[in-house]
Amino acid sequence: MLVSHQERPRELRWYHAGPMLYGDWGTSRFYVLGLAFYFALYASFWYILGVGLLVAAVGWAYTVVCRVYPDGGGVYSAARQLSPVLSVIGALLLFADYAVTAALSAFEGIHYFGIESNHWVQVGAIGSILFLGLINYIGPKRAGAFALVVALATLVCTLILVAFSIPHLHAGWSHIASPQGAMTHRWSTLVNVVLALSGVEAIANMTGIMVQPVSSTSKKSIWPVLAEVVIFNILLGIAMLALPAALQTASSDPAEFTKPAYVYDRQRAEFQDNNPGYKSDPVLKARFDALPEKSRNEERMQKVVLRVMGEQFVHPWFGAISGVVFGLLLISAVNTVIGGMVSVSYVMSRDTELPRFFGKLNLFGVPWLGLIPAIIVPCLLLLLFTDLDALADLYAIGVVGAIAINLSCCTINRRLPVKKWERTAIGFIAAVMIAIELTLAVQKWHALVFVSIILVIGLGMRLFTKWYLPARARMGLPPTPETLTTGRYRGAETHIERPAPAVAAEGKISVSMFGTPAEQLDMSKPHVLVAARGSKPLLDFAATYAKQINGILFVIFVRQVNVAFEMGARAPTLDEDPAARNVFEMAAQACRDASVPLIPIYAVSGDVAYSILDFAATYDVRALLMGVSRKGTFLRALQGDVLTAVADQLPADIPLLIHA
């Protein structure tokens, strides 16, 4: 008999999901406000207001998405009900969004630390991504606690900044100007600052682990964060317009803040495009040098506007402190989206939409091969693009595309329990997102090229995967793990599997070779649980102990899967896990030698300690046996120690026996 447990406990409460959402939505103001001023100057208020209304509409739409997709409402899960190809396209757009978010957040985070040199910002941003990639390889559990602390510190700094900005609202309001240009220009400007949207996709992917009812938990997660982001963005957007007067001095350029800063950048870019050899021509070089360019104040307004507001409205030291806090939140967002990219590739590999090596787990339960593109792509973007507005264009085309597909699927899929008026409203929002996506594709050629490369590579790998697996079957080769028949996650359900013995030559596993047949078990005997990862002395000791008390030995092997979100991914099985089979083979031999009945337990979980404690309580064990961790001090500090976690939470009536 084999106990198999694929586990996704619903323990994510609204006050856990809310800070995760705030870590994404909340970081948007660090560049949205500056970009709005960069593109529209004193008319930026209207574009900040427009983006706020769009964020509110999309946020509402995702409360419906979370309600109708309680087991995972991200674009991949939503589109998969209609078309596997569309789901892959949505997932690849989400990957593109996460990749640019990592680059953009790292870029802005280093700027907020107070570094202004583009070279050192580039070096610092790439270095932070590489460092966080190493951290994600280990999969530290304390990263979430760090993110929560930074989010709370950010909220405190933001509240202080808003409080000190209130006296400047009147001056800022008096400077508000009407949007200039034709409607097409105004629409294009709005598209340029649509950035504060991607967090809802991440929280939609978490509905599978949210506390029931999901509709209530998701609303409590989304609405408070949405209100804070929209209201504070508008207030800070008004106060921001009082900054130019505060920054201008007698030594300032008289032309400063009279035109949107992008005008100067565009003039210089057009001159470079029209005169490729200008650097070698003294006349052209002199004409280029004579072109007006952004001042230092305009540059800082674009890149670190909230730090500038802290310096001017509160105190220079507060600007420095808040800059560090805001920078840490942006770097924390990099860590989150790296995990998101790994999750996307892992889930698609489990569904055989990408090659199976993307689902290969390391010792810490992290799909480590998926980390390679998750690190390389953002670093390449930082090498190619060092302008905030260029990175913003790349960012928008991915997130807007993913949201457009998700909302369109919610509108089209008639099987979903969506009210008629909700479907109509969501369809309208989806149409707006599609219009924004098309505008980006037409006007931002580099963004179109970037997302096209991601789609071509991703769909090409999918085509290879779909061709390769059937080809193996046609050639009569053994099936790869993806072709084995397995079920999806079953919530927190524990179930008993007793499949028929299989032929070893077919590459499958005979469960009967491990566990004692159910008909030979006397469940009234004492239960002993041993958590093993491959130590033969521990298993021998556990079998001897079980024999001494005339008990049944339960051997649990927990396959840790450490991904940001699982999106309904197919769980690993014992057939795919040679390390677990090796442990059960050693346990079976030890139990045969000691004449002790054996029940092997194969569990899949993101929390090893939780699973061990859960089974110890479920089976009312007489004792729990564990071995000493072989991790070094540094790894235990980063990832946590399972033995310590179990010892701290084990019920008092269950003794813990440690075999060193």
Contact of 493 with 618, CB cutoff 8 Å: no
Tell me the H-state helices in 275-419.
Answer: 282-290, 296-303, 305-309, 316-350, 368-384, 388-412
How high is the pLDDT of residue 631? 58
Whether the bond between 224 and the residue before it is cis, its omega within 30 degrees of 0, is no
What is the pLDDT confidence band of residue 24, given thresholds at 50, 70 and 90? confident
How high is the pLDDT of residue 214? 87
Helices (H) and strands (E) in the chain, counts: 26, 7
Nearest Cα residue to 538 out of 624, 451, 612: 624
What is the pLDDT confidence band of residue 658, given thresholds at 50, 70 and 90? confident
Q: What is the CA 86 to chain-centroid distance, rounded?
A: 20
Q: What is the pLDDT of residues 598-639, one digit of tens each?
A: 999 988 887 888 889 988 988 889 999 998 766 555 555 545
Decide if pLDDT at 355 tops 80: yes
Range 240-269 average pLDDT: 78
Q: Which of 52-66, 179-193, 245-259, 316-330 has the lowest mean pLDDT?
A: 245-259
pLDDT over 70 percentage in the chain: 86
User: How far is Cα 110 from Cα 108, in angstroms, rounded to an integer?
Assistant: 5
Decide if pLDDT at 493 tops 50: no
Which two tokens mark 606? 């993101």
What is the pLDDT confidence band of residue 278, given thresholds at 50, 70 and 90? confident
Range 31-52 average pLDDT: 92
pLDDT over 90 percentage in the chain: 43
Of the ranges 7-11, 44-48, 206-210, 516-520, which is most confident? Answer: 44-48
Q: What is the pLDDT of residues 359-394, one digit of tens each?
A: 888 878 888 899 999 999 999 999 998 888 888 888
Question: Which residues lie below 8 Å from residue 564, measured CB to CB, with a gap of 6+?
Answer: 202, 336, 339, 340, 342, 343
User: How far is Cα 159 from Cα 157, in angstroms, rounded to an integer?
Assistant: 5
- Three-state DSSP state, 132: helix
Q: Which residue has the higher pLDDT, 311 or 136?
A: 311
User: How far is Cα 244 from Cα 257, in angstroms, rounded to an integer?
Assistant: 7
What residues does 290 pair with on adjacent strands? none
How high is the pLDDT of residue 141? 62
Question: Which residues lie below 8 Å from residue 599, measured CB to CB, with a gap of 6+?
Answer: 1, 2, 3, 515, 516, 521, 552, 553, 554, 555
User: How far is Cα 109 from Cα 328, in angstroms, rounded to an integer?
Assistant: 7
Q: What is the pLDDT of residues 533-584, one digit of tens each?
A: 878 899 999 999 999 999 999 999 988 888 876 666 677 788 888 888 899 9
Contact of 400 with 433, CB cutoff 8 Å: yes
Rounded (to 5) percent helix, strand, coil in the chain: 65, 5, 25
Q: What is the pLDDT of residues 187-202, one digit of tens each?
A: 999 998 887 776 778 7
Sheet containing 598-605: which strands, arranged edge to edge?
A: 494-497, 2-6, 598-605, 552-560, 527-531, 623-627, 656-659
Domains identified in the chain and CATH numbers: 2-246+267-463 (1.20.1740.10), 494-659 (3.40.50.620)
How high is the pLDDT of residue 505? 30
DSSP state of 550: T
Distances (CA, A) of 657 to 527, 529, 612, 626: 14, 10, 14, 6
Decide if pLDDT at 510 tops 50: no
How high is the pLDDT of residue 271? 83
Question: Dihedral (C-alpha) 352, 356, 359, 363: value to the nearest 10 degrees?
Answer: 160
What is the pLDDT confidence band of residue 509, given thresholds at 50, 70 and 90? very low
- Three-state DSSP state, 355: coil
Decide if pLDDT at 496 tops 50: no
Distances (CA, A) of 451 to 98, 401, 657: 12, 10, 55
Nearest Cα residue to 94 out of 109, 355, 86, 68: 86
